[in-house]
Amino acid sequence: MATVDPAFFINNFGWTYDPRTTDPDNKPATLPFILRPKQAECLDWLRERERLQESGLVEKSRDEGATWLIPVAYVLWRWRFFAGFRAGVGSSKLEYVDKLGDPKCIFEKIRFFLRMLPPWMLPLGFKWARHDNYCRLINPENGNTISGEGGDEIGRGDRASLYVVDESAFIEHQDKVDAALSNTTNCRIDLSTPHGMGNRFAIKRFSGTVPVFTFHWRDNPGKGEAWYAKKKAELDPVTLAQEIDIDYTASVEGVCIPAKWVAAAVNLDLRPSGILQMGLDVAAGGANKTVLIPRQGPVVYDPIVWDTLNTTQTARRTSEECELGSVKRLTYDVSGVGEGVKAALADMAPAPAFEVNPFNGGAGCTNKRWPDNKSSKEKFLNRRAECYWLLRSRFEKAYEFVELGIAHPPEEMISIPNCNQLIIELSLPRAEDTASGKIKIEAKEDMRRRGVQSPDYADALMMTEDAGPRKVSWEVY
What is the tens place of the pLDDT at every residue in 173-214? 888 888 889 889 999 999 999 988 768 898 888 777 899 999
Q: Which of 123-132, 140-149, 174-183, 262-271 has the lowest mean pLDDT?
A: 174-183
- What's the maximum distance between 2 C-alpha atoms anywhere in the chain? 84
User: SS3 of 239, please?
Assistant: helix
Cα–Cα distance for residue pair 398/266, rounded to 1 Å = 10
Q: Looking at the predicted structure, is the pLDDT value of residue 233 above 70? A: yes
Please report the domains of the chain, with CATH numbers, ordered by start residue. 6-226 (3.40.50.300), 253-476 (3.30.420.240)
pLDDT digits (tens, 9 = 90+) for 318-376: 999 998 989 999 999 888 777 888 888 888 878 888 999 999 999 999 999 999 889 99
CA torsion 69-71-73-77 (nearest 10°) is 140
Higher pLDDT, 432 or 453: 432
Q: Residue range 451-464: average pLDDT? A: 89
pLDDT, average across residues 139-150: 96
Instruction: In whole angstroms, give the CA distance from residue 318 to residue 114.
Output: 52
Side chain identity, residue 187:
C
Give all strands (DSSP E) within 350-403, no chain letters: 355-359
Q: Is the pLDDT of residue 285 over 70?
A: no
Most confident of 185-189, 248-252, 417-421: 185-189
pLDDT number for residue 457: 94
Q: Please choose, from the candidates 363, 353, 460, the residue with its C-alpha nearest in 3D space to the C-alpha of residue 345.
A: 353
CA pair distance 333, 279, nearest whole angstrom? 9
Q: Which helix (H) or strand (E) holds 179?
A: helix 174-181
Q: How far apart are CA 219 and CA 450, in angstroms?
A: 30
pLDDT, residue 453, reads 75
Q: How confident is the model at residue 471 (pLDDT cuts 50, 70, 90)?
A: very low
Q: Which residues are bridge partners to 144 per DSSP?
A: none
pLDDT at 301 over 50: yes
For the cut 50, the answer to whether the pLDDT of residue 473 exceeds it is no
When pLDDT is cut at 50, 70 and 90, the band that residue 270 belongs to is: very high
* Residue-level pLDDT at 468: 62
Query: Which amino acid is residue 287, in one-letter code?
Result: A
Beta pairing partners, 148: 89
What per-residue confidence (pLDDT) applies to 472? 35
Which of 90-94, 102-106, 115-119, 442-446 bottoms out in mean pLDDT, i.e. has the lowest? 442-446
The CA dihedral of 98, 102, 103, 104, to the nearest 10 degrees, is -70
Q: What are residue 191's DSSP bridge partners?
A: 58, 166
Pairing label, strands 56-60, 188-192: parallel
Is 476's pLDDT higher than 80?
A: no
Distance, first Cα to last Cα, the chain: 69
Q: Do the strands 304-306 and 290-296 form a parallel or antiparallel pair, or are they unpaired?
A: antiparallel
Count the neighbouring beta carbons within 10 Å of the beta carbon of residue 179: 11
Residue 207, pLDDT score: 76
What number of other Cβ atoms are within 10 A of residue 454's Cβ? 23
**Residue whose C-alpha is closest to residue 177's, from 108, 99, 248, 88:** 88
Q: What is the pLDDT of residue 446?
A: 85
User: Looking at per-residue confidence, does 450 or 263 come out higher?
Assistant: 263
> What pLDDT was estimated at residue 404?
93
Residues in the chain: 477
pLDDT category at 287 given cuts 50, 70, 90 is low
Of 167-181, 194-208, 214-228, 238-252, which has the strongest mean pLDDT? Answer: 214-228
Average pLDDT over residues 272-289: 84
Count of CB atoms within 10 A of residue 302's CB? 12
Beta partners for 162? Answer: 87
Sign of CA dihedral 406, 412, 416, 421: negative
The pLDDT of residue 21: 61
Q: Which of 19-23, 154-158, 175-179, 265-269 has the lowest mean pLDDT?
A: 19-23
pLDDT over threshold 90, residue 110? yes
Cα(95)–Cα(100) distance, integer angstroms: 9
Give the integer Cα–Cα distance in Å for 220 and 71. Answer: 20
* Interior/surface letters 366-405, b for 16+ CB within 10 angstroms, e for the rest: bebeeeeeeebeebbbbbbbbbbbbbbbbbbbbbbbbeee
